[in-house]
Amino acid sequence: MHQLGSSRCGQTTPTLIQANGCSISTPIYFTPTPDQLKTILNAFREKVRQQRFELGWSDEAVVTEHGVRTVTAITPPKTSIEEELGMNEENLRYVLFQRTGIPERLMVKLMTLCGVELVTREAIEATYTEWLDHLYGNEDKRTKATRKTSKSAKTKTSSAATSGNES
């Protein structure tokens, strides 16, 4: 029987414990492009703005009857999206732009809360299938080398092949 593990805080972890007791952990990290990160952050900002508006909050300056413009120095109320995500815009900006890779839990939660889809379940499954095929040596699905050979290496190879044909 397979079962996912849980942390000491009671959260389910990406560790599957096999029937024989061996556990398998699968950390997944996403690295969106800078434009995709901006899209996520802007979608989060827009959701926060909408929710604050629904709560009756406005960060616009108020003009009094005497023409004096005042801006409220009160901290805005925490919105449900901030509560559910567990961070505000400033913290999210740090997480998105200062780290290399976003953990799968955060990425899936952000995509769900903000309504932005950057990756699908199928894409994640395809990535792991390719990786497992590579690990276990499935020749039919093995990826081709992406590194280009240099011109000097090609020249040496072609000259060696030519000299071998002359003999």
Question: Residue 99: what pLDDT?
Answer: 79
Residues 6+ apart with CB under 8 A from 130: 141, 143
CA dihedral angle for residue 117, residue 122, residue 128, residue 133, rounded to 10 degrees = -150
**What was the pLDDT predicted at 60?**
66
* Structure confidence at residue 72 (pLDDT): 62
- Give the separation between CA 53 and CA 79, rounded to whole angstroms: 10
pLDDT of residue 145: 52
H or E element at residue 56: none
CB 92 within 8 A of CB 109: no
Indicate the length of the chain as a whole number.
167
Residue 64, C-beta contacts closer than 8 angstroms, at least 6 positions apart:
70
What amino acid occupies position 6? S
Successive 10-residue mean pLDDT values, the chain, 167 residues = 70 76 80 94 95 81 69 77 94 91 90 93 88 80 51 49 50
Residue 80's pLDDT is what? 94
Task: Return d(Cα 124, Cα 55) in angstroms, integer.
Answer: 37
pTM confidence score = 0.65
Query: What pLDDT score does 50 carry?
Result: 93
- Dist CA 156 CA 154 (whole Å): 6
Q: Sketch the domain layout of the chain as residue ranges.
A: 1-28, 31-144
Q: State which amino acid sits at residue 149.
A: T
